[in-house]
Structure 1
Amino acid sequence: MLTTNALLMGYNDRNMELIERIDLLVKLGTYMKGNDQEWIHAKEQAYIRNSWFTPEFINLSIKNISELYLQKDALIEWINQYPTLKSQPTQPKTIGIVMAGNIPLVGFHDFLCVFISGHKCRIKLSSKDEIILKHLVDRLSEWSPQLKEQIEFAEMLKNCDAYIATGSNSSAGYFEYYFGKYPHIIRRNRTSAAILNGDETTEELERLADDIFLYFGLGCRNVTKLYVPEQYDFAPLIQVLKKYDYLAEHHKYKNNYDYNLALHILNKKYYMSTAALLLIEDANLFSPAGQVHYEYYTNREALLSQLSSNESVQCIVGKGGIPFGMAQYPSLNDYADGVDTMQWIEDLN
């Protein structure tokens, strides 16, 4: 493995400011894994504010960010893919970020890209997820007071030079209207699918259960659609899905489950189920919380090609795609919607 010094060699314009930002991020990662009382309180408040953000899933998101994003060698290797990235932009831009709130810290990667680039960051948080990131930015600002001028939160993102906005298909039209004349990245609804061969091991199916259930299935990287071969035996899959039956104890999740179950019973629609998941044969990629769709296929290669070109698909899980169980563990290079955010930011220069 290349050392830190080796990774930075050859970039004479990368002075201490860039290295200091990396060190701040590493320090933040260490802090996120710690037990500072104010940090614990912030996580507790995030759960009180939004009951979808259970301690289990808040801690999972924090663990992934601290271990997969905020490690020094990983950060340096990542930024060295962008040789034009300078320690400080000659003409810093103000980049507005509209963040979603479906899972804890879902917008952290966008924040990270803008922060590491040295541009100014103006963030509009979702009301569902406005506590944890604010706390982390406060900590960064305590360690480096000049960041108070670089990072700000706002209810209205006016007078920005460029925008990154994540939301639903309906809100994307709003973003296009207001941000369309500026450089922008606008993200719409996406979801993920898994292709099964029918010969998966119990361990692989258990990992697939993670891809379905983590964060209650509310993330764009969660599997909401299964493609299975004809004559597929669902019994082994249903058995391993039961490891998440405890999610049925969550009142909001259970309300979704019960509502959809009632609809299927009233409509006399065939379904399979565990205590926490309904499996429904349906062509739709998207499924509501507490439900997963499945569809039979005959030609795997044709299906893979079809899904790869579908703009609604974030991840394809299974052999030949993202390994089972890894959908919710993106690396620094796993850009949402396949748009290289760092390169886009560099092109602003």
Structure 2
Amino acid sequence: MTSNQRIEAFVNLGSQLSNEIQTFSEGTQTLNEIIQSSQFQNPWFTPGNVEQALQANLALLNLVDLRAWIEPYSKYFQNDSDKTVGLILAGNIPMVGFHDVLSCLIAGFNVQVKASADDKLLIPYLLKRLIEIEPAFKAKINLVDRLSNFDLVIATGSNNSSRYFDYYFKKTPHIIRKNRNSVAIITGKETKSDLGKLGHDLFDYFGLGCRNVSKIFFPKNYNYSLFFEAIESFSSISNHYKYNNNYEYNKAIYLVNGDKHLDNGFLLLKADTRFASPLGVVYFEEYDLFSFVETHLEENKDSIQCVVCEEAIQGSNSMQDLEIPLTGFGTSQLPGLVDYADGVNILDFLKANS
């Protein structure tokens, strides 16, 4: 396949599945069955969350964006590569590994895909549909339980598993991802709409993604009732038994230990200097001077996936110097093609090892 053929195949995949999601007409029941059955394989993958993930990823598969993304690498990825990339995918939110798969296939590499046990329906189904659209992909895609005979590796896991990956793949060109968290910065100038959008950054996919906000910086003496009022529309998240169990468990711990916290009935705000908060909890810190926030982010930038903040902060030179991805309220879980996990450009990695 040429680069244009690969791009065209993914565009067709995005178009077909997007139309099917809109209609679920006769003949497209299989996709609906995947969406509905995912929750039985993984209770966190509710139909709403799966459909949201599908739509967000399929929106990337349009001709304009794909061509603009691959254009700087056109002379490297014009024809198929005979090299194979081993992909160990995460499964914390639906389809979280799809961008890795897309990047490797669009660049012409072969892939061995080890899907997460928590997300073993969605990506295999999309790859099956891709092969139906372009049969030449069949020779380039291999779903495996264990990697073997690979040239490159992209592996995503926890801090513990990353140590194993680093050792096991030390002689192979690799990208190894660890745990990361995202933060939000509140200045006090936000509208109720801004704060309401922040609810998506907190609660989309139950807050299980590395791009979900787990820590908020508030200005000193902030009126927290404004924040709680703005996110009230997300209260239905407590109807999910696994989320609510986590919320209730952490609430009980704080009450027994006498830990100070704020509680709106479905989210706990707890003052803490750490970034990785438990499910159902968001850590926060107050600041007098914005330089405190910048210093804190600089010291922990290798643990931060992205920062959710207003446009004025995004445009400041000092924040740009931190080299941490910045995004607007409500958009943390809508990454584009160039929003690479951990800031590591996969296409640059593939080009260097082509």
With the shorter chain as reference, the TM-score category is over 0.9
* Secondary structure of 1:207 counterpart: helix
The alpha-carbon deviation at position 283 of structure 1 amounts to 0.9
Give, in whole Å, the separation in 1 of the partners of 2:279 and 2:111. Answer: 33
2:10 matched residue in structure 1: 25
Q: Which amino acid aligns with 1:22?
A: I
* Secondary structure of 2:117 counterpart: coil
The question of whether the paired residues in 2 share the 8 Å contact of 1:84 and 1:346 is answered with no
2:81 equivalent to 1:124: no
The alpha-carbon deviation at position 212 of structure 1 amounts to 0.5
Q: Which amino acid aligns with 1:97?
A: L
The alpha-carbon deviation at position 86 of structure 1 amounts to 2.5
The question of whether the paired residues in 1 share the 8 Å contact of 2:203 and 2:234 is answered with yes
Note the 1:1-349 alignment, pairs <5 A: 17-33=2-18, 34=20, 35=24, 36-67=28-59, 69-89=60-80, 91-308=81-298, 310-319=301-310, 320=314, 321-349=326-354
The question of whether the paired residues in 2 share the 8 Å contact of 1:79 and 1:85 is answered with no
Give, in whole Å, the separation in 2 of the partners of 1:85 and 1:253. Answer: 45
TM-score by length of 2: 0.91
Give, in whole Å, the separation in 2 of the partners of 1:172 and 1:86. Answer: 29
2:317 matched residue in structure 1: none
Structure 1: segments with no counterpart, 5+ residues: 1-15
Give, in whole Å, the separation in 2 of the partners of 1:27 and 1:308. Answer: 42
The question of whether the paired residues in 1 share the 8 Å contact of 2:12 and 2:133 is answered with no
What do the CA deviations read for 1:32-70 (whole angstroms, capped 9, x no partner)? 221211111111221211110111111111111111x10
Q: Which amino acid aligns with 1:323?
A: G
TM-score by length of 1: 0.92
Give, in whole Å, the separation in 1 of the partners of 2:164 and 2:50. Answer: 29
The alpha-carbon deviation at position 169 of structure 1 amounts to 0.1
Q: Which amino acid aligns with 1:304?
A: E
Give, in whole Å, the separation in 1 of the partners of 2:220 and 2:296. Answer: 18
* Secondary structure of 1:128 counterpart: coil
> Following TM superposition, where does structure 1 have runs of at least 4 consecutive aligned residues deviating by more than 3 angstroms?
none
* Secondary structure of 1:224 counterpart: strand
The question of whether the paired residues in 2 share the 8 Å contact of 1:207 and 1:324 is answered with yes
The alpha-carbon deviation at position 305 of structure 1 amounts to 4.7
Structure 1 window deviating more from structure 2 (96-105 vs 28-37): it is 28-37
The alpha-carbon deviation at position 241 of structure 1 amounts to 1.8
The alpha-carbon deviation at position 302 of structure 1 amounts to 4.4
* Secondary structure of 1:292 counterpart: strand
Shift of the 278–302 alpha-carbon distance from structure 1 to 2, 3 Å rule, reads closer
Q: Which amino acid aligns with 1:341?
A: I
The question of whether the paired residues in 2 share the 8 Å contact of 1:194 and 1:317 is answered with yes
The alpha-carbon deviation at position 284 of structure 1 amounts to 1.0
Give, in whole Å, the separation in 1 of the partners of 2:63 and 2:146. Answer: 34
What do the CA deviations read for 1:197-250 (whole angstroms, capped 9, x no partner)? 011100000011111010000000000000011111101101122211111110
* Secondary structure of 1:328 counterpart: coil
* Secondary structure of 2:45 counterpart: coil
Q: Quote the RMSD (CA, aligned, Å).
A: 1.3
Q: Which amino acid aligns with 1:315?
A: C
Q: Which amino acid aligns with 1:39?
A: L
Structure 2: segments with no counterpart, 5+ residues: 315-325
